[in-house]
Amino acid sequence: MSAVHSAVTRRLDDGGSAARDPLTVARARALRMGIDIGGSKIEVVLVEHGRVIALDRLPTGYGARQVLANTAALASTLAANVGLDLADIGAVGVGIPGAIESGTGRVRHAVNLGIDDLALGSELSALLGVPVRIENDVNAAGLGAFHALGLARNASIAYLNLGTGLAAGLVLQGTLWRGSRGTAGEIGHMPVVQDGPLCACGQRGCLELYTSGSGLARMWPAAPGQALAELHKAVAAGDRAAIDVHRTWIEGIASAVRALVLTLDVDSVIIGGGLSTHHPSLLDEVRGVLTEWSARSSFLKMLDLPSRVVLPPTGLPVAALGAALLGEPR
Ligand SMILES: [Zn+2]
């Protein structure tokens, strides 16, 4: 486990006394804890007045029982390290991949975590002794990125997550938008190539097959997690096939941006997720494709797509931050 909490421990002890001190308890009520359960690590943050003041991490583990136990252990450890009783904290929120049953906090089909069905909200709440809100991880990241960028309260964004899959978190006029069945923003499963390869969803030619981490690995097979690095090497060496695959990948991202703006007319599309952080020139390349398309269409040119694509602030755990802010009144 990392040890980034020592400075924060001091900061929280500034009040000068133990966690049960009334002043400290009052301060704890204003704190929010956010937890991001990812494929490889769980990240936990403490947020005070919208600012991350403590952070810790732990490997996720695999399967419902292990993920639950590790999440509870990490939350308890962080609270103990800063001298807080978890029961005093104002709010705890969790972002996790999978289909979330809104209201109950039940998680289904979190395939990468080995979770088929887990009553995460109630079970984690029982372990921590505090109510817990559960949200889809991409939605949580969208909320966190919205906040981290310091946008106007009534701004609208789409957070395009380039992870193993491809999906967008939508914050419309400052409020997370889940849709009527919780599937808003699942643009990875829009078919874009008729009779294309079979997708895990049962359709053919889905955008995710060309634009996500798994799509990249499909188009440019390499050791796990190495597809983008290997592709870059081949592009740098002038490999024609690699250049074509790279172009397909960037065009897929640009298509997603265009679809999100045409559907929702959001102020910005924020490109996040694991793939974006390992590709420094991504923003310029996506903007380049959008600029090419705009040169051929006065309609697209009017939409000013290149200037509406942005990256989230670097170094901020946006998904954990967003999880901490779940349910916060606007
Ligand atoms: Zn699909």
DSSP 294-322: HHT-HHHHHHTHHHHEE-PPTT--HHHHH
Task: Count the Cβ atoms, other than its own, within 10 Å of residue 145.
Answer: 29
Q: How far is the CA of 102 from the centre of ligand 1 (A)?
A: 23
Angle between helices 64-81 and 120-128 (to 10 degrees): 40
DSSP state of 272: E
Lowest mean pLDDT among 164-168, 209-213, 312-316: 312-316
Instruction: Assess contact for 56 and 42: CB atoms under 8 A.
Output: no
Q: Please report, as a single letter, which amino acid is at residue 70.
A: N
Q: How far is the CA of 252 from the centre of ligand 1 (A)?
A: 14
Q: Quick check: helix, strand or coil at residue 266?
A: coil
Q: How far is Cα 189 from Cα 256, in angstroms, rounded to an integer?
A: 11
pTM of the predicted model as reported, rounded to 2 decimal places: 0.90
Domain spans in the chain, listed from the N-terminal domain onward? 6-142+316-324, 151-310
Q: Cα(2) to centroid of ligand 1, in Å? A: 37
CA of 166 to the centre of ligand 1 (A): 10
Torsion of CA 157, 159, 160, 161, to 10 degrees: 180
Ligand 1 geometric centre to CA of 143 (Å): 25
Q: State how far the Cα of 37 lies from the Cα of 96, in Å rounded to an integer.
A: 5
pLDDT digits (tens, 9 = 90+) for 212-258: 999 999 999 999 889 999 999 999 999 999 999 999 999 999 999 99
Contact by Cβ (8 Å): 4, 56: yes
CATH topology of domain 6-142+316-324: Nucleotidyltransferase; domain 5 (3.30.420)
3-state SS class at 221: coil
Compute, in angstroms, the gap from residue 234 CA to the centroid of ligand 1. Answer: 28
Residue 69 CA to ligand 1 center (angstroms) comes to 32
Instruction: Of 151-155, 176-180, 186-190, 277-281, give the lowest mean pLDDT range.
Output: 277-281
Ligand 1 centroid to Cα of residue 249, in Å, is: 16
Answer whether 6-142+316-324 and 151-310 agree in fold.
yes
* Tens-digit pLDDT profile for residues 160-205: 999 989 999 999 999 999 999 889 999 999 999 999 999 999 999 9
Using an 8 Å Cβ cutoff, are 118 and 107 in contact?
yes
What is the whole-number distance in angstroms between the Cα of residue 308 and the centre of ligand 1? 26
Please tell me the distance between residue 174's alpha carbon and the centre of ligand 1 in angstroms. 29
CB 223 within 8 Å of CB 255: no
Tell how far the Cα of 26 is from the centroid of ligand 1, in angstroms: 48
- Dump the DSSP string for 106-131: EEEEEGGGTEEEE-HHHHHHHHHTS-
The SS3 of residue 11 is: helix
Amino acid in the structure at residue 65: R
pLDDT on residue 11: 47
The pLDDT of residue 106 is above 70: yes
pLDDT band at 276, cuts 50/70/90?
A: confident
Count H helices and E strands in the chain, helices first: 14, 13
Residues 6+ apart with CB under 8 A from 104: 119, 121, 122
| 151-310: CATH number | 3.30.420.40
